[in-house]
Every structure is written in C-alpha cells, then in structure tokens.
Chain A
C-alpha cells in the first residue's frame, strides 16, 4: 500500500474501489448508465438487481472483462493501482486480476480447468503473480487454503470428482489465494442448493474477514444480501436507484422500486395474495427514458419523464421523484409530537 503515499492521484485513500460515472453500451443501446460505486477497505457491499439491471455488466466492467462489442466509459480506480482500469490494456489488467482484484462467478461447473488437479490450480493462481517463492511453497499454501475452505485432502482431485458446492469452494480458495484487496462475487451461490449455499457464503465471509478484503457481492436475492452485506446498492434498468446501509434500505426503502421489490418478495406475511409490481422487466437497453421505473410505477407522473436527481449522500440515497415516505423521519416526528402533547 506504499504506492498510495507516492501517488496522490490514486483513488481516495479511504476507498478500495471507486467507480465514477460508469456507462456501458453496446452500439446504440445503453445498458448501464452513470453508475457511481465505492467500496471501502474491508467493507461488504451488495449489488442487487433483476435481469437487465446491469449489475453483472457493472462487475465485468470493473474486471475489464466485457464482451468484445460492449464498451465502458467513466472511471474505475482501485486502491494501489496508479491507472484507471477503464481503458487499461490487457497486460495491465492481467497483472491486477487475481492479485488485487479477485472474482467468483456463478457457474462452478465451468470455472475450473477439468484437466488439472484442483491443488495445482490454486497453486498456479499464486505462481502467476509470484506471491509465493516457488512451486513447493505454492503447493503447501494450496493445501492450507483447501483446509480453510473445509476441503482437506482434495488437492489431488480433479474437478469432476467434486460436487458443485465443493467446486465453488475451490473457486473461492483460488480467488482468495493472493489475499486480494477486493473480492467480487457474481451470484456465487445461485446454482447451489440452500444448505450448500449457507456453507459457501460463510466461507466467503470468513475468507474476506481474515484478509480484511473488501467484498462486492452481486445477486438478485435480497435475503442473501441482507445476511452478508453492510451496505447495498439497488440497480434497475442499468441505474443505481437507491443505496444505503442494508438495514436502512430494507426497512425504510425510499425508491418506489425498492419498496415494491421488498413487498413482492415478502412471502412470510400471512396474506394469501402477494403485493406485486405490475408489468414485466424490459429487456436490457429497452428501459424508458427519465426514471427507468416509471412504466411500472403506480406513482409515476409527468415529471418522471425527466431523470430523477440523486437525493442524499454518495453512500446513502435514492433517485426518485415521488419517494416513499421516510418512515424513520415520520416516527421521530410522531414521537416528538407525543412528547409535546404530554
């Protein structure tokens, strides 16, 4: 981290990752628009959204792994790296990926090389970036890592000999091998059974906690985000519509989309019929102009054809012309009035 001192231009010292004004487009279609996102050291941030929300594209932009004809604009800075990740060439990115910035994808079945023993794959992750002195040390470290993800004695196994959950744990071990400053997980447990999911999530959390790594966790599952993250960003139609501390966003949602999403996913309430958000999620790039949610929003008016301004601070706020009432503020006001009445 000494680079930070020498290079004052590097992302603000407090942030591991700072994304500014990220816009991703494919030819004439804008898929992600003006996304700001910061992750502090050791912070666990969730990025939730449905299909077409642009959450995965946001992650891929950070990693520089966008498909060929998809382009990103804006700025992505990583602590300790003296250049912007957007526009960086493949050699520069390759040096960062797997060392400062690690990733876990959804599909454990294709993430490993089927012709290599899993221990060697973990060892290789370290040898590539020369974070260990030699092959023997890498092997030892790999075995230790496998023990840490509760897979003792599988170093000599091939991927096909492992179950989906076990493979995903190997992928987590590879991602954590070089003690990355930031771990990005894109739906890492969606393909897994719930009991396996619980274990993988726990291992990811323990892993980042032990290394003081920051975590950017991308999922469509509100409950998972609520369980593992401290802060959350809600994406819809390629934009961040609301962000803030998990507890605040999930108990006191301000954007109408967040509000609707929470209500629609509340299966535990006794009511037979669920509250719904009308309509369908448009295909990526086909969201309305102005407020991206206005075509499905019960509160939309003419003003919603203009892009709603961001209300609140950079780390906590929302972009809605007709926000849901602030329950916390109401509560405070009511209690203060009661006090006054007394």
Chain B
C-alpha cells in the first residue's frame, strides 16, 4: 500500500478563552480533542458534523492555516505540523481549498482573471491568459468572465470561480469546506457534478466537509463523523448511512428529513424520536 495522502495523528487544538475572572484563567476551548484520520491518495473523503464540532479547525490545520496545540499532520510524507511558512511551498502548491461562502471567498475588488491567477503569481508560475481561459473553461465559464468582477456573478458561478482558483496551481489535494451549503438547490447539483468530474479527471484526493450527510453520501466513498472535537465514527459512507453504529451518528442520520421518507409518511415525531431515543 502506498503512503496515505494525508495522515492526521492525535490532533489537539485548544483556544484560549478571554479571562472573565481576575483570579482564575478561563478554561480553554477544546476545538479538537485527539483527532486521527487517514486519507488515501485519490480517495473522496467526507467529514460530517454540526456547527462547532471542530471540522473547520481540522481543515485549517491540515491546510497549515492554523497551528495544532499537539499532534501531527503528515501530508504526502512530510510532517507539516511544525514547519515554518517558508518551508510550506510544496503544500501551498499541492493542497488547495474551496470555501463555503461564495460572497466572501472572492475579493470584490479584483477581476476574476486576477483572482484565478493569484495562486500562480504567488508561486512564481507564469500566469498566462491561456491558463486562466483553460481554467474558466474547465469550470464551465466563458472566457470573457475573466474581465468581470465577482459581484456580477450569481452564487453558483462564484463557486465555480473559487474552484477554478483552487485548481490553478494543479494541486493533488482539494479540500472543499461546505462548498454547496449556500447554494440554491437547482444550482447545487451543477456544482456537485463539477467537483465530482474534476476530481475524476485530475485524479485529485478530495476532502469534502459538510453538515449535510446526504450530500457527503453522494460525493464521498468514506466518511468521518465528528462531534465535539472528536471523530466518533469512520467508515464507508454507504455503511455509515445505512447502519450507523455510534449513537451520535444514529441521531444525526435519523434527524435528516428526506423526501423519500417524508413521502412514505415520516413525520417530525419520527425525526425527533431518533434524536431523543439515543
């Protein structure tokens, strides 16, 4: 077996809380309490959890945008946990992110072509118009989109621009943080398809984070369920969805309203039953 693309071992992240008492320091917030996971090369790995479960903190530490309190993150064989910024170049080239909020993920004062070219410029690659057009085309936008500003695009289109920017440095790992939660249903399907296609085409390793288990189930082959800073269950998505073993996962699965279940007569009482019974 080849080495995993990403290996996280016993990751802990505490945030200091502002003092509220003169006498005692406030107890820190435990955002991550010993998270371990492994993502194989070319795998589509999902992370599911509700707000405040620590999934965003985990992503940021994997992307070296935040520091761990303890534990280790190894990306493609290199331990990045203690590396200084100047030695992270390989990570900046090989790992890229797509964010949740299409409004705040693009600089409103920059033209789309400059936004997409930014990673190239930063990493000293020639940012040719050719490459930008190629990327726009890859995400299904016309070439003249490059001349416009982000506010001229709808949410779904902005998310495409985000994806194009992430793909610019030809990364091997793509991390998507809730990439479709802010999108309309009719547009969500397009963006999910796009991510799926690009991951296949470019042989990317995908980490897909969402609060929505059904979306993760559609995109990912394996999933980790997070709750209160810990991973409570990991496994093939279909299994976790069909037969959750951890009580929290069971609660999560049963609380999701789905069309199928609703049309076959499920009520809110059924949704809550799962929440309360465990």
Contacts and interface: CB of A to CB of B under 8 A. Distances in A.
B193 A273 contact: yes
A264 B255 CA distance: 22
Given A224-B257, A281-B154, A276 B266 contact: no
Interface in B40-92: 50-51
Interface in A200-226: 201-202, 205, 220-224, 226
Contact of A226 (B184, B211, B217, B259): B259
Given A198-B275, A226-B263, A250-B263, A274 B218 contact: yes
Contacts of B259: 222-223, 226, 250, 262, 265-266
A202 B271 contact: yes
Contacts of B218: 267-268, 274
B214 interface: yes
B25 interface: no
Interface residues of A, number: 43
B187 A227 contact: no
B120 to A, nearest CB: 27
Contacts of B214: 267-268
A220 B184 contact: yes
Interface string A221-252: 11110111000000000000000001100110
A154 B274 CA distance: 25
B189 A51 contact: no
Given A275-B189, A276-B189, A193 B271 contact: no
Interface core residue of A194, A199, A260, A281 (most chain B CB under 10 Å): A194
Contact of A50 (B51, B157, B184, B251): B184
Interface string B180-223: 00001111111011001100000000000001101101100000
Contact of A223 (B155, B187, B189, B257): B257
A247 B263 contact: yes
B37 interface: no
Chain B binding surface SS class = helix
Interface residues of B, number: 42
A190 B234 CA distance: 27
B203 to A, nearest CB: 16
B262 A198 contact: no
B260 interface: yes
A202 B269 contact: yes
A277 interface: yes
A185 to B, nearest CB: 13
Nearest to B241: A268
A281 B51 contact: no
A261 interface: yes
A195 interface: yes
B193 A274 contact: yes
A197 interface: yes
Given A194-B255, A202-B268, A226 B186 contact: no
A264 B185 contact: yes
A265 B263 contact: no
Given A51-B155, A202-B269, A267 B217 contact: yes
Nearest to A164: B51
Contacts of A262: 259
B228 interface: no
Interface string A266-293: 1110001111111011110000000000
Pick the 3 closest A-B CB pairs, nearest first: A226-B262, A198-B271, A264-B189
Interface of B: 50-51, 154-157, 184-190, 192-193, 196-197, 211-212, 214-215, 217-218, 251-252, 255-263, 266-269, 271-272, 274-275
29 contacts: A51-B155, A51-B184, A193-B211, A194-B256, A195-B252, A197-B255, A198-B271, A201-B268, A202-B268, A202-B269, A205-B268, A221-B257, A222-B185, A224-B257, A226-B262, A227-B261, A227-B268, A247-B263, A264-B188, A265-B188, A267-B217, A268-B214, A268-B217, A273-B197, A280-B156, A280-B157, A281-B154, A281-B187, A296-B186
Interface of A: 50-51, 193-195, 197-199, 201-202, 205, 220-224, 226-228, 246-247, 250-251, 260-262, 264-268, 272-278, 280-283, 296
